[in-house]
Amino acid sequence: MNIARFREPTFVGLQNYLDLFNDPYFLQVIKNTLVYVIGTVPISIILAFLFALLVNRKVRNVGWLRLAFFHRWCSRWSVPLRFGFSFSRQIMDF
């Protein structure tokens, strides 16, 4: 392929979009995405709401449940910070 021989650009208008919506693979991808979103988003919202209710209850030893539930969120932020500080050349440089 010789990249030195470019053609002048031509205006195609909305032809690319028309070709896209007439492509059967694109329509299948849109269908799969909608099925995935409709199937997962409501279930995720319901489960998150139920976990929030469970963590907010006034029961004995709920602290362990909170620890197990929030540890993942806290470690997601603390681990990169720890590695960032350990490999930084400007540690405690005031």
Residue 4 DSSP code: T
| 73 within a domain of the structure (yes/no) | yes
| 1 within a domain of the structure (yes/no) | no
| 7 within a domain of the structure (yes/no) | no
What domain count does the chain have?
Answer: 2
Same domain, 19 and 52: yes
Same domain, 63 and 52: no
Residue pair 55/65 in contact (Cβ under 8 Å)? The answer is: yes
Q: What is the pLDDT of residues 14-24, one digit of tens each?
A: 999 999 999 99
Task: Give me 6's structure tokens.
Answer: 């470019």
Residue pair 75/85 in contact (Cβ under 8 Å)? The answer is: no
**Dihedrals phi, psi of 68, to nearest 5 degrees:** -65, -35
Range of the domain at 24: 13-56
Contacts of 21 (CB under 8 A, 6+ apart): 27
Same domain, 19 and 47: yes
Residue pair 51/69 in contact (Cβ under 8 Å)? The answer is: yes
Residues of the chain with pLDDT under 70: 1-5, 74-77, 82, 85-94
Q: How far apart are CA 49 and CA 44, in angstroms?
A: 9
Same domain, 50 and 68: no
pTM of the prediction?
0.50
Residue 94: what pLDDT?
46
Residue 91: what pLDDT?
57
